[in-house]
Amino acid sequence: MATRPSHFEQNLLCPVCCDIFRDPVLLLCSHSFCWACLDQYWELSGSHICPVCRTDFCMDRPPCNRALKNLCEIFLQERSKTASAEPELFCSVHGEKLQLFCVEDQHLVCSVCVTDDMHVKHTFRPVDEAAVALKEVLKTSLKRLQEKHKLLKLEKFICNQRVKHIKNQAEQTEAHIKKEFEQLRQFLRDEETARKTALKEEEEQKRKLLEEQMIRINSELSSLVERIRITEEEIETNNISFLLKYKGPPESSQCTSPCPEKLPEVLINVAKHLGNLKFSVWQKMKSAAQYSESHESMVP
């Protein structure tokens, strides 16, 4: 089982490849990376940004972090010395030094274990040779894992950017919808005001016609009331006085005023104001919308 890196070693790990820095470079945001890792990340992302804090970086190649590079080299040298000084292990069965590695069983053996029946036809390699070969296999696997790690981080970054873009799209679209519906409501308010005004104008016109008719009728009524009074007084006088003053029937008997049934029809034209109201307004709204779209398409 791999040992957990010390706190000091963790500070020497590249955030991209998670390995000891190789040719470290320093960004203006104070974050450091292997130059190869950073260059590959920039190529995949298509922009010069810090893989950690996303800060833009305008230079083609950042400066080398020499202090960090020296620390990494010293650490690797010390770790190599420690690895070369590993204690020798001995076989628990034969007591001999474990100098070989069984490829089939995947564990260390001594020179006596090779002759055991359990290792017949097995392949054995020296410890150092086997370790180097297996480490190369692990390095290949590690490289694939690191590549996948980079791609997943990039995919996560792209997803986050798209989430922000979707949010901006939704906000802008909502504002546009609100504006469009406010224009529709304003159009309906203006249309309502115009139709109410037309109704009021017709009402005023018809009312004036009827008021003029009422003035004429009231005048004739007053005249008729007076004539009726005079005629009634003449009828009540004695016959001699009546005959002396009689000048024929009153003029009212020949009145040519129209009968109520023959009065002109003065009413509000309700059908004009309400007939096909929704359809008419919809047609106007449709024409206004088409004009608005045509006008917007001409705007550069």
In the predicted structure, residue 217 carries a pLDDT above the cut 50: yes
- Residue 21's CB is within 10 A of a number of other CB atoms, namely 25
pLDDT range class, residue 173, cuts 50, 70, 90? very high
User: Which string of DSSP letters, residue by residue, matches 141-189?
Assistant: HHHHHHHHHHHHHHHHHHHHHHHHHHHHHHHHHHHHHHHHHHHHHHHHH
What crossing angle do the helices spanning 127-236 and 277-298 adopt, rounded to 10°?
130
pLDDT band of residue 152 (cuts 50, 70, 90) is very high
Q: What is the mean pLDDT of residues 27-50?
A: 88
pLDDT digits (tens, 9 = 90+) for 60-99: 788 899 998 899 988 888 877 766 655 567 777 777 777 7
40 contact partners, CB below 8 Å, separation of at least 6: 150
Summary mean pLDDT of the chain = 82
> Would you state the pLDDT for residue 2?
41
Q: Which CATH superfamily includes the segment(s) 9-79?
A: Zinc/RING finger domain, C3HC4 (zinc finger) (3.30.40.10)
Tens of pLDDT, residue by residue over 263-285, are 666 788 887 777 777 877 888 77
pLDDT of residue 1: 34
